[in-house]
Structure 1
Amino acid sequence: MIPVASANAAEKGWRYWGYYQAAPGANTWTAAMTGPTVDIEDGAVEGWSFVFSSDDIPSTPPSVKPNFASICGKTKADKDTKRIALVIDFGAKAYAPKGEKIKKTISTCVRTAKTSQGIDVLGMAVKVRAAKSGLICGLNGYPAKECGSEIATPASIKK
């Protein structure tokens, strides 16, 4: 007998920190299918968005477009470091953890060592809480305690 997917498979999903990237010169987000322990180039834009998704690919990129010039334009290049634009979007009220207030989106330019990876850039800008597995659980205290929680699909975002 072939197992059949449950009719209510899309009734649940997960809320978690989705990781996005935009290569130097790019103006659209791409969901990063690897963790933030990857090398990034000077001029890149890193994005984090607290998302709700019923599959493995984050569904909602940061609300701020990846625009290196507008975020890092005033930060001069030098030969010893690299500049990475960083956008952190704290998501929507529809799937915010109960009792928690959504924080304001962060857009900042991070000057870092040439060898820095995505996780280093993130840690230079905000406080990071991660699980032992490496999953990013919270940024600047949001969410306060949970980590990649499965929840019922919020009625306001059901299709």
Structure 2
Amino acid sequence: MGARRVVRAGLLPLLLLALSATAASLIAASPAQAVGYRYWSFWERTGSTWTFAQTGPAMTDPADGAVEGWRFAVSADSADAVKPRGAASFATICASTPPRPGTKRVALVLDFGTSQDAPNGATPPAARTSCARVPEDATAADALAAVAKPLRYDASGLVCAITGYPATGCGEQVSSGGATGSSPAASRSASANGGSGSGGSDTGPSLGVLAGGAVVLLLGAGAAWQVRRRRER
């Protein structure tokens, strides 16, 4: 009985050590944590308050006097999306665009973001404002196209570039280390065809999940060892 206790006392700590090493190696090998997506977000302003648009620009019918904004930045979702900068009012932006029958005027704020959000070391253009005069039945996408060409879209309608910026890429995922991954589904409000949301896919358990499992095994083995020792005393 004494020899059996010695064996258990010797093997179980080794097992715990092995499991601990496995958990540590899995955690160390896990990929950099994603911080969000690099994309153009679409906003609507009431007074001085910007609101993340709940529908895509092709589904939005702005009224004469509307103020809409676009911001290029890295964000995880609508909850932490970065708002356009600048407080110019409709009266200021469209001061030189008088009303005309059969048309409407939409003020746009185009914020190309910061160098930290720029892809591949690109230099973002300076933010600017424009007043779009469009037909009365025009959408927000029509207003954008009237003043911010060239525009670039992906196959599912996500706005990839405004006035040609950025030159490449479209909604790519960005990690904390700066690496990029696959683009999100075009169901964000910046999509010409859809509403807000986010995309993704499941490709099996991640290394982080496996590392968590190893830690669970580690804790479980330690608890079992303690219980067995109490019973043998």
Report the TM range for the smaller structure's normalisation: 0.7 to 0.9
Tell me the equivalent position of 1:150: 173
Which amino acid counterpart does residue 78 of structure 1 have in structure 2? R
> Cα distance, 1:74 vs. partner?
2.7
Tell me the equivalent position of 1:36: 57
Tell me the equivalent position of 1:124: 146
CA shift digits 1:23-54 (9 cap, x unpaired): 4xx22111102110111100001110002112
Q: Aligned equivalents of 1:154 and 1:20: distance in 2?
A: 28
Query: Which structure features the higher share of helix residues?
Result: 2
> Cα distance, 1:132 vs. partner?
1.4
Counterparts in 2 of 1:100 and 1:136: CA distance versus 1, 3 Å? same
Unmatched runs of 5 consecutive residues or more in structure 2: 1-29, 179-233
Q: CA RMSD in A?
A: 2.1
Tell me the equivalent position of 1:105: 127
Q: Give the match's secondary structure for 2:122.
A: coil
Which amino acid counterpart does residue 56 of structure 2 have in structure 1? G
Query: Which structure features the higher share of strand residues?
Result: 1
- Contact kept, 8 Å, 2:37 with 2:174, in 1: the verdict is yes
Tell me the equivalent position of 2:35: 12
Q: TM-score, normalised by structure 2?
A: 0.58
- Contact kept, 8 Å, 1:18 with 1:58, in 2: the verdict is no
| Residues matched between the structures, number | 147
Task: Find the structure with the greater CA-based Rg.
Answer: 2
Q: Aligned equivalents of 2:78 and 2:44: distance in 1?
A: 16
Q: Give the match's secondary structure for 1:93.
A: coil
Q: Aligned equivalents of 2:132 and 2:151: distance in 1?
A: 15
Q: Aligned equivalents of 1:9 and 1:78: distance in 2?
A: 54
Which amino acid counterpart does residue 133 of structure 1 have in structure 2? S
